[in-house]
Amino acid sequence: MRFALDDAGFTALVTAKLAMHLEQAKSRMIVVAHHPPFYGLSFPREGPPVELDSYLWDAFAGNVGVEQLLTRHAERISHVFCGHTHNGRGGTCWGRSWGTTSVATTRSKRLLVLDWPSGDVEEHQFGEV
């Protein structure tokens, strides 16, 4: 099956839908995404990409439009959770916790448990690290 939209068109469509949901939300919210919505949640690396794999990860790491959209609504976003990288990471932005990636590989799983409304996140590791 072929979609009528190219990658840029599809991204614009889903980003607009996310923007609509963020505008409609009346209180604090949690954002869950498959791909890291922030560049900083991708694979850690010292310096710019130098090999093909690094360039490919950069191509699929974060989304400037989504990152800007979430930043505009930052005061109402409690947490951002994502996956895709199979690499557990977290970070801070807006002066507080802003993103955590879940991890699932063939040898390990990472469970994140959010206590609401406190906002505390517990991490549980199963299997090899």
In this structure, how many other beta carbons lie within 10 angstroms of the beta carbon of residue 121?
A: 15
- Boundaries of domain holding 72: 7-16+27-101
The whole-model pTM stands at: 0.75
Structural domains counted in the chain: 1
pLDDT in tens, 88-101: 666 666 666 566 66
* Structural contact between residues 97 and 121, judged by C-beta atoms closer than 8 angstroms: yes
> What phi and psi values does residue 24 have, to the nearest 5 degrees?
-80, -20
Residue 122 lies in a domain: no
Asked if pLDDT for residue 5 goes beyond 70, the answer is yes
pLDDT in tens, 34-90: 878 877 777 666 777 778 877 776 766 667 888 889 989 988 988 888 877 766 666
Residue 126 lies in a domain: no
Three-state secondary structure of 41-93: HCCCCCCCCCCHHHHHHHHCCCCHHHHHHHHHCHHHEEEEEECCCCCCCEEEE
Residue 12 lies in a domain: yes
